[in-house]
Amino acid sequence: MEYSEKDLTIELEKLKEETKKPNILICGQTGAGKSSVVNYLFNDNIAIVGDGKPQTEDINLYENETVNIYDSEGYEIGTEKQQHYKKLILDDFLNLHKSLSENPEECVHLVWYAINGAVKRITDIDVQLIKQIYCNYKICILLTKIDEMDEEQLLEMKTNLEKELPFIKYFCLSTKDKKIESLKQYTQWDELITWSYDVLPDICRDKFLCSLREGLEEKRKQGKIDATIAAGIAAGIGASPLPFSDAALLVPTQTGMMLKIFSLFGIKISASSLESLVTDIGVSSAGKFVAGNLIKLIKINGVDGIGSVINASVAATFTEAIGVVLTEILYNDAKEVINGKKESMTIEEILEKVDFINQVMDYFKKAKKSKKA
C-alpha cells in the first residue's frame, strides 16, 4: 500500500478541521506586562512591549494559524479613564464576542487578567471587572512582575487576592525568569498553561498547545496520550493478525499520530514542505520506513516472542514506541531551543539524523520485555 502526498494532505486538513483556534483576551492595568506575557508564551514575538508609556492601544488581535490573542490596552489611573476601560472590555468587546452557544468560533474562550505585582495592590476596578467577567467567561489572574516583590509582599498580595476574589485562580509570573534562574521556584507558567488547557473547550485544546512556545510538560503529556490513542487503533488493526508484508496497513495511523505530535511541538508542516517531505525522505517514506523497518528491525534484532505475524500487541507496542520516542525527541529539542542553545530541528533532521529508529526499537524491546514480565 502506497501512502502518498495526497493522503498526507487529507490527513493534515482533517487535523486542521477537527480543531478550532482559541480566542484569548488579555486585559488589566497599563504596564502590567500583558504584551510581555503574550511574547513570552507564544511562538512569535508578536506584541509591542512598552518603554514607560502606555503601548497597546485599544484591542490588538494577534492571529496565526493556531491562536487568536486579543491584547488590550491597559487602564490608566483616573475615574474617567477607568470607566472608559470598563466600557471597552465589557460592552464593546466581550458583548460582541458573547457566549459559547451563539458562535463557538467567535466567542472568547478564556480571559487572562493581569495584576501588576510591582504595584503591589489590587484596585477596585480590578475587583469589579474580574467579578463581572467571571459571570460569563473563564477567567484567571496573572500576577505579573513578581520579581519586583519580596517574599513578604508576595505573601500579602496572595492573601489579599484570596480574600477579595476567593473563587478566582491566580498564577504568579515573571518574564524575567528566563534570565534569573532562581525566580523559577516562584513562577507558575506551567500551572497557568495546564489550567487554561483544562478550562478551554475540547475543540480548542490542541491548537492552544500548538500555539505555545512554552508549556512543554503539557505537550509531553499530550504527545504520550496521542501515542496511547494511536496504539489502541493499531491494536484494532492487528486484532486479526497480519503477515509482516501487510505492516503498511498501520502506516496511516502511525503517520497521523506523527503529524499530530509534530504540530503539537510547533514543527511546521506546510503544503510546500509536504512535497519535499514526500520526495526527499518524507513522511511518506517515513511511513514506508516505519512499516519497512518494523519488519527489518524485528528480524535483525530478533525480538523474542514474535512469530511470523503482527498481532494486536506488536502493532500497539510498535505504534506507541514511535509516538513516545518522537515526543521525547521533540520535547528535549524544544527545551534547548527555548534556552537559546540551538535552532529547532526540521522533520528531515529528526527522522534522519537523530537515531530515531534505533530508539524506537529500544523502546519496543523494553516494552515487550516488561509486558512479558
36 versus 263: smaller Cβ distance to ligand GTP: 36
Q: Which residues inside 74-93 make contact with ligand GTP, applying CB under 6 A?
A: 74
56 versus 254: smaller Cβ distance to Mg ion: 56
**What is the residue whose three cell numbers read 478564556?**
110
- Show Cβ contacts of residue 326 under 8 Å, excluding neighbours closer than 6 positions: 223, 258, 261, 262, 350, 356
81 versus 176: smaller Cβ distance to ligand GTP: 176
Interacting span for ligand GTP (CB under 6 A) from 170-178, 206-214, 240-248, 266-274? 170-178
Of 12, 24, 25, 32, the residue at the interface with ligand GTP (CB under 6 A) is 32
Of 56, 68, 196, 319, the residue at the interface with Mg ion (CB under 5 A) is 56
Of 19, 29, 35, 116, the residue at the interface with Mg ion (CB under 5 A) is 35
Of 21, 23, 33, 327, the residue at the interface with ligand GTP (CB under 6 A) is 33
Of 11, 21, 22, 55, the residue at the interface with ligand GTP (CB under 6 A) is 55
According to DSSP, residue 186 is labeled T
Task: Check binding of 7 to ligand GTP (CB under 6 A).
Answer: no
Per-residue CA distances from 309 to 230, 242, 243, 250 (Å): 20, 5, 4, 13
CA–CA distance, 69 with 71 (Å, rounded to integer): 6
174 versus 284: smaller Cβ distance to ligand GTP: 174
Task: Check binding of 145 to ligand GTP (CB under 6 A).
Answer: yes
Task: Check binding of 36 to Mg ion (CB under 5 A).
Answer: no
CA–CA distance, 108 with 89 (Å, rounded to integer): 12
Interacting span for ligand GTP (CB under 6 A) from 44-52, 150-158, 255-263, 269-277? 44-52
CA–CA distance, 162 with 154 (Å, rounded to integer): 12
**What is the residue whose three cell numbers read 463581572?**
132
Closest approach of Cβ 89 to ligand GTP, in Å?
12
Of 174, 255, 317, 319, the residue at the interface with ligand GTP (CB under 6 A) is 174
215 binds, among Mg ion, ligand GTP, none (CB under 5 to 8 A by kind): none
- Show Cβ contacts of residue 196 under 8 Å, excluding neighbours closer than 6 positions: 24, 110, 112, 140, 208
Closest approach of Cβ 112 to Mg ion, in Å?
13
Task: Check binding of 34 to ligand GTP (CB under 6 A).
Answer: yes
CA–CA distance, 31 with 26 (Å, rounded to integer): 13
- Show Cβ contacts of residue 109 under 8 Å, excluding neighbours closer than 6 positions: 22, 23, 24, 100, 138, 200, 201, 204
Q: Is 118 left (phi over 0), alpha (psi -120 to 50) or beta?
A: alpha
Task: Check binding of 27 to ligand GTP (CB under 6 A).
Answer: no
173 versus 291: smaller Cβ distance to ligand GTP: 173
Task: Check binding of 214 to ligand GTP (CB under 6 A).
Answer: no
Of 36, 188, 196, 319, the residue at the interface with ligand GTP (CB under 6 A) is 36
Task: Check binding of 39 to Mg ion (CB under 5 A).
Answer: no
144 versus 255: smaller Cβ distance to ligand GTP: 144
Closest approach of Cβ 144 to Mg ion, in Å?
11
Farthest CA pair distance, the chain: 79
Each as own residue / partner, the long-range contacts of residues 83-91 (CB below 8 Å, 24 or more positions apart, any chain) are: 85/125, 85/129, 86/125, 86/128, 86/129, 88/58, 88/59, 89/25, 89/27, 89/129, 89/133, 90/129, 90/132, 90/133
**SS3 category, 142:** strand
Taking the alpha carbons of 216, 56, 162, 156 in that order, is the dihedral positive or negative? positive
Interacting span for ligand GTP (CB under 6 A) from 32-40, 127-135, 272-280, 355-363? 32-40
176 binds, among Mg ion, ligand GTP, none (CB under 5 to 8 A by kind): ligand GTP
Q: How many CB atoms lie within 10 A of CB 270?
A: 10
**SS3 category, 339:** coil
Interface residues with ligand GTP (CB under 6 A) are 30-36, 49-51, 54-56, 73-74, 144-145, 147-148, 174-176
Interface residues with Mg ion (CB under 5 A) are 34-35, 55-56
